[in-house]
Amino acid sequence: MNKKPQEYTRKSGVSYVVITADQSGRRIDNYLLSYLKDVPKTRIYKMLRKGEVRVNRSRVKQDYKLQQQDVVRIPPVYQSAQHKRRPEPSPSLQGLIYRHIIHEDEQLLVINKPPGLAVHSGTNDAFGLIEILRAMRPEDSFLELVHRLDKSTSGCLMIARNHQLLRDLHELLKQNRVSKTYQTLLKGKISRSQVVDAPLSRRAGGHGKKHIQINESGKPSISRFTPVKVFSGATLARVEIDTGRTHQIRVHAASIGHPVAGDKKYGDSEFNRSLRKRGLKRMFLHADTLSLELPYTRERVSFRAPLPEDLQSLLVKI
């Protein structure tokens, strides 16, 4: 009698899941990725292609949007033993995130993301903020990033605690109804406010890295730069954005000749070098405030994260 290789373990039998109102509207592939968190992505898409997953007894494509009362058949799943156990984020990491919670209610979390922490895990990051939160809150069946911040950027970040709020907040972001304000240190002197209205698009970079450029056929993007304090060779500025394109502030700042301090991709190497000597160890970009009308209370709120100590200490040295 042949036995299955020991490196594979049976995870479950056939499951039938009834989709709730809160879950409706999600793509079937995204739903399965969150429902079967320990199963490799390639296996999930193979299940969909082969028709192992059925909705109301019928095959569906990966982009099918679930409806309330849909019955989803999920087949027995086998996973590699290497996926069975994942290391947990350390207590110190969990404690760090706990201390950085700005706001919490039954539907929403707002975190002052520490610099140097990715928002989700990746090739070089065993844990991102969202994985740490899920480890801290095993009782939460749903925790998802509403938007993102670069790894080196600190500040306000929203996490939805249910599907409906995630969809509602994405709609607000799409309609430019979430006001975002950043603080940044720019090269050179800015004496007055400047508005940069320049569409952005992505182009392929080396080793698969993101590189954003101004392109007339790109997505509309507007940044408003207002000087807060002018130094001898730099300006502390407040930046307001309605859109939230990848690297938007960094590309727009560089386009007007005032790149962000510490920006290795779009910045000025000589300017960065001079600030490193004064103690700057990362990009000087901080998500200062988020203002919006909460969909579930219709209350207008603002969340604020104070400028971190490492950036404050730099300002007294320049």
Rounded CA separation 107/105 (Å): 6
Greatest extent of the chain over all pairs of C-alpha atoms, in Å: 81
Copy the structure tokens of residue 87. 């290391």
Query: Which of 150, 168, 268, 310 is labelled catalytic?
Result: 150
Q: Which amino acid is it at 311? A: L
Sort 16 into a burial class: Cβ within 10 Å, 0-12 / 13-18 / 19+. exposed
Cβ-contact 111, 129 below 8 angstroms: yes
Q: Which residues pair with 199 in a beta bridge?
A: none
Q: How many CA atoms lie within 13 A of 257 on its CB side?
A: 5
Rounded CA separation 241/4 (Å): 55
Rounded CA separation 79/90 (Å): 25
The sign one gets for the Cα dihedral 71, 76, 82, 86 is positive
Rounded CA separation 181/185 (Å): 14
Relative orientation angle of helices 41-50 and 28-35, to the nearest 10 degrees: 130
Nearest alpha carbon to residue 253 among 297, 284, 281, 289: 284
Cβ-contact 129, 118 below 8 angstroms: yes
Known catalytic residue at 63: no
- The residue with tokens 């090739």 is 123
Catalytic residues: 150
